[in-house]
C-alpha cells in the first residue's frame, strides 16, 4: 500500500582485480542487489562524499594497487557516515582485521563462497536498519 518498491540497495564495491570483480558482481546481482564497482579508494570516497547516489554498504578488498588500503577506505567513509555497513575481503591480511578494521564490520577470508558475501551484506543491512 505504500506504493511500488522501486529500485534495490546499491552496494559500493572497491576491487581492482578482474576475476574478483566478476565474482562479487555475480554474487550481489544474484542476491538482488545493484552495485557500482570502482578500482581505487579515492574513487570510492569521492562517490560517497558527492552523495549523488545513495550507497547502502561498502564491500572492499583490503590490498589494492593504489595507495589506499581497504582499512583506510572504510575509516574515511565511516567519518562521513558512522553507520555505514562495511565488508572487507582479504586473503593475506586477515590477521590485521583486529587492529585495522572498524567496529561492526565483517571480514571475508578468501577463498569465500558467494553466499557468504550476500549473507554478510544482508545481515549488516538488516541489523543496521532499525533505531
CB of 43 to a copy of itself, least distance (A): 15
For a copy of itself, the closer of residues 52 and 83 by Cβ is: 83
For a copy of itself, the closer of residues 19 and 52 by Cβ is: 19
CB of 90 to a copy of itself, least distance (A): 7
Q: Which residues bind a copy of itself (CB under 8 A)?
A: 1-9, 16-17, 19-20, 23, 27, 30-33, 61-65, 74-76, 78-79, 82-83, 90-116, 118-123, 125-126, 129-131
For a copy of itself, the closer of residues 42 and 116 by Cβ is: 116
CB of 61 to a copy of itself, least distance (A): 7
| CA gap 63, 94 in Å, rounded | 11
* Cβ atoms of residues 57 and 106 within 8 Å: no
CB of 47 to a copy of itself, least distance (A): 17
Amino acid at each position: 500500500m505504500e506504493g511500488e518498491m522501486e529500485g534495490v540497495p546499491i552496494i559500493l564495491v572497491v576491487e581492482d582485480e578482474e576475476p574478483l570483480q566478476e565474482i562479487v558482481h555475480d554474487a550481489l546481482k544474484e542476491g538482488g542487489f545493484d552495485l557500482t564497482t570502482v578500482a581505487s579508494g579515492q574513487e570510492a570516497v569521492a562517490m560517497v562524499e558527492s552523495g549523488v547516489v545513495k550507497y547502502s554498504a561498502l564491500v572492499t578488498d583490503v590490498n589494492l594497487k593504489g595507495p589506499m588500503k581497504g582499512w583506510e577506505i572504510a575509516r574515511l567513509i565511516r567519518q562521513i557516515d558512522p553507520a555505514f555497513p562495511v565488508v572487507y575481503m582479504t586473503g593475506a591480511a586477515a590477521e590485521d582485521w583486529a587492529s585495522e578494521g572498524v567496529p561492526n564490520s565483517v571480514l571475508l577470508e578468501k577463498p569465500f563462497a558467494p553466499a557468504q558475501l550476500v549473507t554478510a551484506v544482508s545481515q549488516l543491512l538488516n541489523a543496521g536498519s532499525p533505531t
